[in-house]
Amino acid sequence: MKRREFMACTAGLMGSVLPVIGRAEDKPCPPDRLQAVGGTSISTTCSAAPLGDTYLAQQASTMSAGDWKQITTGGLSTALFDTGANNTLGYMDKGAYDPINKRIRFIGNGHLEQLRWHQYDETANTWSNLAPPSWYGGGAVYEHGYQHNTVDPATGDFFYRNFNSSSIRRFVHASGTWVTISSSNDNIAGGIEWLPSLGTQGGLVQYLAPYIRTWDKATNAVTLRSSSSGASTYHCCAVRNFANNTIYVGGGNGSSSVWSVNGAGTVGSLPSCPISFGIGSTVTTACPVSGDLIVIRNNSSAYGLSGASWGALSMTGAPGFGTVQAGSHIVAVPIPAYGVILFLFGNTPATWLYKHA
């Protein structure tokens, strides 16, 4: 081949490759294979770990342990949550992150008003309301979000427990349809959370004090794990310890008690929180890196459970939480992929990130 022909061929090859590389400049590696003009295929290698390419991922990557940061998200306004005299974020404090489809989803409901299914689309960096679930008949209902929202991170399937009901709703992402899981109505409100280590496919942990039950996805079996975990109360919590694949359960009206549930369904006692906690009195969540349980009542009363020890949580740089109550309208969402917790504030709409560890 003559030198001029070789250069022309090379220029054509690189001209087809460079636009691909250019589009991938915000990522650490090009695709595994690049297709050139004429069908030539080029293999690529890269030893760098992939980084998130969304605005959320980029903002989280700039944070260090202890940092709070407000971020700009589209579509966020009080109109998303206001359904009349009330707000859909009342009596709830937990949303669910779907890492497969990069979305946060949760269902909320103002007191005796309309139910709404909320979503944050990470790729579009935008909040919106989804079409109502097929099982919702419309109109005013007695329903709140509590800690009744969770997701299966392996499939993106979303779960929601109805108020004072034995029904847990499952949105099957692959088919876009809702199915119903029949559990047990042990109390009007509490918490559900996904536990990947339960059974062979993961499953749900349900805490409706004083009862702890699990649902095994592979077998569709609901199993009673404890009938004496705390007093019979409601506004309880269930959040995942990402570090050791267990679920924290506890709290509720006037309660500071905490337990853990592992993949075998074994329930263990943990040290009580220095303050009572639960829906309507605190925001309760967990660090997606360390697994620490986090309880926030206000900016001067916040605690973290690390291992078997509680300690005061520094709120330096944090937004104003006020004194958390049912009308605080604050929702927390751990995001393991980026090692942060997203906090949505609904009264004066704002999105914040917190990096605990």
Tally of domains in the chain = 2
pLDDT category, 30, cuts 50, 70, 90? very low
Q: pTM value? A: 0.86
One domain, residues 245 and 210: yes
Instruction: Find the range with the poorest average confidence among 24-33, 69-78, 241-250.
Output: 24-33
Tell me whether residue 290 is in a domain.
Answer: yes
- Inform me whether the pLDDT recorded for 139 exceeds 90: no
Please answer whether residues 333 and 94 qualify as being in contact, where contact means their C-beta atoms are separated by less than 8 angstroms.
Answer: yes
One domain, residues 72 and 169: yes
Round the average pLDDT of the chain to a whole number and report it.
88
Number of residues assigned to the chain: 357
Tell me the pLDDT tens digit for each residue of 272-326. 999 999 999 999 999 999 999 999 999 999 999 999 999 999 999 999 999 999 9
Judged by phi (left if over 0) then psi (alpha if -120 to 50, else beta), residue 44 lies in beta
% of the chain beyond a pLDDT of 70: 85
One domain, residues 288 and 315: yes
Tell me whether residue 303 is in a domain.
Answer: yes
Tell me the pLDDT tens digit for each residue of 205-236. 999 999 999 999 999 999 999 999 999 999 99
Report the alpha-carbon distance of residue 63 to residue 219 in Å, rounded: 41
Please give the pLDDT value at position 54. 98
Report the alpha-carbon distance of residue 168 to residue 149 in Å, rounded: 10
One domain, residues 8 and 131: no
pLDDT category, 49, cuts 50, 70, 90? very low
- Inform me whether the pLDDT recorded for 14 exceeds 60: no
Closest CA to 161 of 180, 176, 138: 180
Judged by phi (left if over 0) then psi (alpha if -120 to 50, else beta), residue 268 lies in beta
Domain that holds residue 23: 3-43
Closest CA to 345 of 319, 317, 323: 319
Element (H, E) at 3: helix 3-23
pLDDT category, 22, cuts 50, 70, 90? very low
Please give the pLDDT value at position 140. 87
- The SS3 call for residue 330 is strand
Q: State the average pLDDT over residues 117-121.
A: 98
One domain, residues 15 and 60: no
Closest CA to 102 of 126, 68, 134: 126
- Residues 6+ positions from 330 with CB-CB distance below 8 Å: 89, 93, 283, 321, 324, 343, 344, 345, 346
One domain, residues 174 and 228: yes
One domain, residues 172 and 238: yes
pLDDT category, 51, cuts 50, 70, 90? low
Tell me whether residue 158 is in a domain.
Answer: yes
Tell me whether residue 333 is in a domain.
Answer: yes
Judging by beta carbons within 10 Å of its beta carbon (0-12, 13-18, 19+), is residue 139 exposed, middle or buried?
A: exposed
CATH of the domain at 309: 2.120.10.30
- Residues 6+ positions from 336 with CB-CB distance below 8 Å: 97, 99, 153, 242, 288, 289
- The SS3 call for residue 163 is coil
Tell me whether residue 321 is in a domain.
Answer: yes
Report the alpha-carbon distance of residue 162 to residue 142 in Å, rounded: 10
Please give the pLDDT value at position 44. 41
Report the alpha-carbon distance of residue 18 to residue 14 in Å, rounded: 6
Tell me whether residue 69 is in a domain.
Answer: yes
* Dihedral (Cα; 64, 65, 68, 73), 10-degree rounding: 60
One domain, residues 77 and 33: no
One domain, residues 113 and 165: yes
One domain, residues 26 and 132: no
> What is the SS3 string spanning 59-101?
HHHCCCCCCEEEECCECCCHHHCECCCCECCCCECECEEECCC
One domain, residues 175 and 249: yes
Report the alpha-carbon distance of residue 253 to residue 115 in Å, rounded: 24
Tell me whether residue 49 is in a domain.
Answer: no
Measured between alpha carbons, how far is residue 45 from residues 16, 23, 30, 299 in Å? 18, 17, 8, 48
Cα torsion angle, 166, 157, 109, 204, sign: positive
- Inform me whether the pLDDT recorded for 80 exceeds 90: yes
Report the alpha-carbon distance of residue 256 to residue 269 in Å, rounded: 12
Phi and psi, residue 308, nearest 5°? -115, 20
One domain, residues 68 and 141: yes
Tell me whether residue 319 is in a domain.
Answer: yes
Token pair, residue 175, equals 């088919």
Token pair, residue 311, equals 């300690």
pLDDT category, 5, cuts 50, 70, 90? very low
pLDDT category, 83, cuts 50, 70, 90? confident
| Cα angle 306-307-312, degrees, rounded to a multiple of 5 | 25
Please give the pLDDT value at position 3. 40
Question: CA-based Rg of the chain, rounded to a whole angstrom?
Answer: 23
Higher pLDDT, 296 or 46: 296
- Inform me whether the pLDDT recorded for 163 exceeds 60: yes
